[in-house]
Structure 1
């Protein structure tokens, strides 16, 4: 996950919790103090909207598998911010008379509903964080597999080079054997020719000796 997004997310969660506390405090006061609290809350909401816009831009710049998870979280944060805006609007429009007319049970239900929604938001965020961790683990496994594949390809390339070198060496040996065979064949032919010449010379000498002995004896 993007560290930039996580930084914005952490700032938003802290700001949202602070604004919630301020809304609760503003509901308990009247007059100028309430107006002051509401003004502070509106300033915080503007800051929260700016953080959400930054998170949206950062999420959309990331790869699709990560972007989908972050945009889902962002929708929850936008819903949370809309609830804060509604609460501020209710506080702004409220006055002492409306507060007296407002049933205590209705206020309690509203606060309970807001607390339940915030609890669901936290659970959803936790599930999304778990999904993000699984995505990180899958990505790490994919990178390790890719590195292993690259290592295997490098080993295969080295083995291929070794085989090519051995093949070239064998071709050189074959050429040397071929030349040696030709030389041996030529030597064999020369030896055979010399044998015939020597045999012919011996035959001539034998005939000459026989002729000489014949004439001497005669």
Structure 2
């Protein structure tokens, strides 16, 4: 199995596209046909799948720094396109949730004769509830957007930490290679020094032998002169 960053990115991208197609199908078809608790359950399932899609996007982002620089920009553009598609699906989910909440408010508080925008007391009460519900939805959307922003910042921070760790690992490996080369150089220098020491002792021995021979010859010559 190819575990290169490019191959992993392609694998994540395929999973993301399949999941995105499933999400679109549910939001545009299945969810809209359901009512009440069934719709809520379907929306919860869609939300869980959106979290899964977010995780896939995060994994794709982690693989980017490990790619060759020559192709990294192309995959960055693909990641941006995928994230934009995911944001559109999120917006569709928020719209459906808002629609569901409005329907529940109308169904629980208004009679058939009530007009939500009427100036009559009953209509005014319904309109008040609608406005309150709308404000709650907007507040929830703001919290969701803030949570998403924090998640993106956390992902960026995590990607930065991974890049730093990868750089430190490369520095450690480079240092280890340098130490290995230095150790080899020391071994070669030690061998050369041993050879030099051996030759030095060899030369001393030869020099000593020559001196000894010369002394003997001088003694022989002197002895010969004395005898003669």
Q: Residue 160 in 1 paired to residue 176 in 2?
A: no
* Distance apart, 1:144 and its partner CA: 1.2
**Structure 1 unaligned regions, length at least 5:** 20-39, 67-76, 212-218
- State which of 110, 113, 124 in structure 2 corresponds to 1:105: 124
Query: Cα distance 1:11–1:61, how it changes in 2: closer, same or farther (>3 A)?
Result: closer
Work out which structure has the larger RCO, using CA pairs closer than 8 Å and 6 or more positions apart in sequence.
Answer: 1
C-alpha distance in 2 between matches for 1:115 and 1:135: 30
The 1:42–1:106 alpha-carbon spacing in structure 2 relative to 1, beyond 3 Å, is: same
Unaligned runs of 5+ in 2: 1-11, 59-92
How many residues get paired? 170
Q: 1:111 to 1:182 in 2, by over 3 A?
A: same
CA separation of 1:102 and 1:42: change in aligned 2, threshold 3 A: farther
**Alignment of structure 1 residues 1-218 onto 2, 5 Å:** 7=20, 40=33, 42=35, 46-56=38-48, 59=51, 84=100, 87-88=103-104, 91=107, 95-96=111-112, 99=114, 103-208=122-227, 211=228
Aligned partners of 2:46, 2:54: CA distance in 1, in Å?
Answer: 13
In structure 2, relative to structure 1, the CA distance for the partners of 1:122 and 1:133 (3 Å cut) is same
Give the Cα–Cα distance (whole angstroms) in 2 for the partners of residues 103 and 89 of structure 1: 13
Go from structure 1 to structure 2 and tell me whether the alpha carbon gap of 1:41 and 1:102 turns closer, same or farther (over 3 Å shift): farther
TM-score w.r.t. length of structure 1: 0.60
Q: Could you state the TM-score of these two structures normalised by the residue count of structure 2?
A: 0.58
Q: Over alpha carbons, which structure has the higher Rg? A: 1
For 1:127 and 1:62, how far apart are their aligned partners in 2? 15
Cα separation, 1, equivalents of 2:206 and 2:134: 107
SS at match of 2:35: helix
Please report how far the alpha carbon of residue 53 of structure 1 lies from its aligned counterpart in structure 2 after TM superposition.
Answer: 2.7
Shift >6 Å, 4+ stretches = 60-63
Q: What RMSD, in angstroms, separates the aligned Cα atoms of the two structures?
A: 4.2
Residues 117-144 of structure 1 deviation map (CA, whole Å, 9 limit, x = unaligned): 1211221122122112211210121121
Larger CA deviation: 46-55 vs 130-139: 46-55
Q: Distance in 1 between matches of 2:46 and 2:103?
A: 24
